[in-house]
Chains A and B, each alone.
Chain A
Amino acid sequence: MTDKLNVNPLENEAIHIFREVASQFERPVLLFSGGKDSITLVRLAQKAFHPAKIPFPLMHIDTGHNFPETIEFRDRLVEELGVELIVRNVQDSIDEGKVVEESGRYSSRNILQTTTLLDAIEEFKFDACIGGARRDEEKARAKERIFSVRDDFGQWDEKNQRPELFDMLNGEIEIGQNVRVFPISNWTELDVWSYIEAEDLEIPSIYFAHKRDTFVRDGLIWTSSEHVYKDDEEIVDNRWVRFRTVGDMSCTAAVLSKATTISEVVAEIRDSKISERGARIDDKRSEAAMEKRKQQGYF
């Protein structure tokens, strides 16, 4: 108790943002994918309100194509935290005829999530959706605000964004609009991993090296699964791999790795020659793939 607090500027900035969300909005929700960024968000939210519980629910937009390890992890974490988890399924949006499943070699449910997400925002009247997107991930995300306003259609008007000065956050919106909030905007991939290591946070096992049936396409390592389209000529091999991001099996490529501990993962990231989203098949569709999805209301 005699110590002076040692400040991690990124952590303290994020806590400040969480506290503004809790006060400025009536119905916030934390968008939880089970990935490392949303796990980091959960810890930051705990720190912001301790010893009180996190004052908003978590929501997972489940594509049905997630790695089973992620779903197991999600359910366990929610139980430990004692917070409410809302799950909305892309399968329901498909069954209701709102979206149509893609077909073919590169089919994925990634884009379909947007409809399910926007419907859920409307259903629960969420006015703030907290997400784990970071500016260093991708060039369109580099232009994001911390409080990013979306119109009634969930759309992002990238050329007409509110300036954000100092640490003053303007969360004023009209009814029907909502704000996407990005508390770890200024973190890099390495910052997130270092934080997970320092805080000793549990993460899904697919982030660590394991043996998996995979095949190679376009220089990327794809998971062999019933949810992933595969030609007969594409040969499956059992490889030592791990994942750097946790998206769907159909849009997240693996990397060859033998890193089985957090410190080995951190060392590997530090030396990596490929960016994290370099293994995201969804970003490779075009140079502006992310910007286009964001305009439509994507995470």
Chain B
Amino acid sequence: MQVLKIATAGSVDDGKSTLIGKLLYDTNSLTEDKIEAIEKSSKSKGYDYLDFSLATDGLVAEREQGITIDVAHIYFSTATKSYIIADTPGHVEYTRNMVTGASTSQASIILIDARHGVIEQTYRHFFINNLLRVKDIIVTINKMDLVDYDEEQYNTIKKDFMALAAKSDYDEQNITFIPISALKGDNVVEKTDAMPWYNGQTVLEHLELLDTEDIYTRGKLRFPVQNVIRPKTDGFHDFRAYAGKVYGEDIAVGDNIIVLPSMKKSTVKNIHFYDKQFASAPHGSSISIELENDINVSRGDMIVKENELPTIDKDLTATVTWMDSKALIAGNMYVLQHGINKVLAKVVKVNHTIETDFSGVESEATSLEMNDIASVTFKLNKPIFGDMFKENRANGAFILLDKNNNNTSGVGFIE
């Protein structure tokens, strides 16, 4: 079974809902009762086309104000794949929502209005996709019908975007451009005759061919221990297995491992998934493992391969995106959650803020407001077992929790 997670973001009126709606409609993913509801609502608003935002804007306040407030998840499937779209709104909490959507996505759709070309919002969206190392970017140049399907306009936008991409340090990223009209359905699911100069794929054709590899594929094996399984029942008296999810490369029976932070060595004896045993397990699998030696392992420990240690450190510098209306202030203390592991983190210094326009401008700061991105140095009460985010997406990110109200206030990417 293949599941592809996609993030979409854009500014108001760029046709995002229409694009998603068209994808759902043309893949027969909208059932009759949902289409009826959309028709009814579109009619009552006086539109002469189907307003697909009803399929995505689930909250009363969203429908009242005609805006999307919160990330919505939309599902559709084809014969080859199941798709999960994280539809992230682009206003007040834009960075927070985009980062959230992109964090679980393998691909991202960036919408550009063909009449307006590359705008500041495009910069920000692309920057965040780079920051989060989203592998596949699909730049859909929408509303081509409103510029007479002009090839030159398409080429100009493409050139402007490529100039932006040249400033990115993420070389393995795949960027694809598709000229579309979401409203007319041009190049969304079906190829259009309106743009004979375009020989590429439609949006859906492109999605169908994308690799669904999990975002955790990259990097060395990391196995954070979630629970210790000790049934203490007849037949399982001495059974002791460590439950967790595999990140990075496969884990296999016979692997020589080391347990952090105790640094005790052992070998993988058995790999269990439910009532069966396996010789190896890939990234993304929630398994339990038995070790050859009787050593002390508990929740929060991390099992890695002997020669592939992460950085074990109490000093930490990371790129932080702030997501809370209460500012991050130098000197404050937060709970830092790295995977399943929690430590206390004191903000030693806000090194500098980072602009999302690829200008490279760095400004001094001592605090971070919502949507700000900055390099921040922390002092931890206990070491975490981290990797650089750019090298290991699974083990290079953490969230910051406000100790007073338990909110998830920020996200960090280890530098």
Contacts and interface: CB of A to CB of B under 8 A. Distances in A.
A4 B73 contact: no
A11 B286 CA distance: 9
Contacts of B278: 1, 3-5
B119 interface: no
Interface in B1-43: 1, 3, 31-34, 37
B274 A143 contact: no
Main secondary structure of the interface of A (DSSP, over half): loop
Contacts of B77: 188, 190
B287 interface: yes
Contacts of B250: 4
Interface in A1-55: 1-5, 7-13, 15-16, 19-20, 22-23, 46-53
A186 interface: yes
26 contacts: A4-B280, A4-B281, A4-B282, A5-B280, A7-B282, A10-B3, A16-B226, A16-B245, A50-B288, A52-B230, A52-B231, A52-B236, A159-B59, A163-B71, A163-B100, A163-B323, A165-B103, A166-B215, A167-B104, A168-B340, A170-B401, A191-B82, A273-B31, A274-B32, A287-B37, A291-B59
A159 B70 contact: yes
A161 interface: yes
Contacts of A163: 71, 96-97, 99-100, 323, 408, 411
Contacts of A167: 104, 245
Contacts of A13: 286
A19 B285 contact: no
Contacts of B75: 135-136, 186, 188
Given A16-B245, A172-B335, A288-B60, 5 more contacts: A7-B281, A139-B57, A142-B56, A159-B59, A186-B73
Interface string A111-143: 000000000000000000000000110111111
B51 interface: no
Interface of B: 1, 3, 31-34, 37, 54-61, 63, 69-75, 77, 82, 84, 96-97, 99-100, 103-104, 214-215, 226-227, 229-233, 235-236, 239, 243-245, 250, 253, 271-275, 277-282, 284-288, 299, 323, 335, 337, 339-340, 394, 397-399, 401, 406-408, 411
A22 B34 CA distance: 37
Interface residues of A, number: 61
B58 A143 contact: yes
A5 B273 contact: yes
Interface string A211-236: 00000000000000000000000000
Contacts of B335: 172
Contacts, number: 184
Closest 3 CB pairs of A and B: A139-B58, A15-B286, A172-B406
A170 B231 contact: no
A22 to B, nearest CB: 6
B70 to A, nearest CB: 5
B250 to A, nearest CB: 7
A231 B335 CA distance: 60
B253 to A, nearest CB: 8
B281 A142 contact: no
A10 B407 CA distance: 26
B340 A23 contact: yes
Nearest to A18: B286
Which of A3, A9, A173 is packed against the most chain B CB atoms within 10 Å? Answer: A9
B399 A165 contact: yes
A132 to B, nearest CB: 16
A168 B340 CA distance: 7
B104 A159 contact: no
Nearest to A17: B286
Contact of B279 (A3, A10, A48): A3
Contacts of B69: 159
Contacts of B299: 23
Interface in A163-206: 163-168, 170, 172-174, 185-186, 188, 190-191
Nearest to B102: A165
B58 A291 contact: yes
A190 B77 CA distance: 10
Nearest to A144: B73
B103 A166 contact: yes
A57 interface: no
A5 B281 contact: yes
B103 A143 contact: no
B406 A19 contact: no
A291 B31 contact: no
A162 interface: yes
Contacts of A141: 58
A103 interface: no
Nearest to B275: A50
Nearest to A24: B340
Contact of A23 (B55, B100, B227): B227
A275 interface: yes
Given A48-B243, A163-B100, A5 B271 contact: yes
B274 A2 contact: no
A139 B235 CA distance: 47
Contacts of B55: 139
A169 B244 CA distance: 14
Contacts of A172: 335, 401, 406
Contacts of A142: 56, 58, 72-74
A138 B37 CA distance: 12
A11 B287 CA distance: 11
B140 to A, nearest CB: 22
A101 interface: no
B328 to A, nearest CB: 15
Contacts of A138: 58
Given A4-B280, A172-B406, A186-B73, A166 B84 contact: no
Contacts of A50: 229, 272, 274-275, 288
Nearest to A49: B229
A135 B73 contact: yes
Contacts of A159: 59, 61, 69-70
A11 B3 CA distance: 12
Contacts of A1: 253, 277-279
Contact of A9 (B60, B73, B284): B284
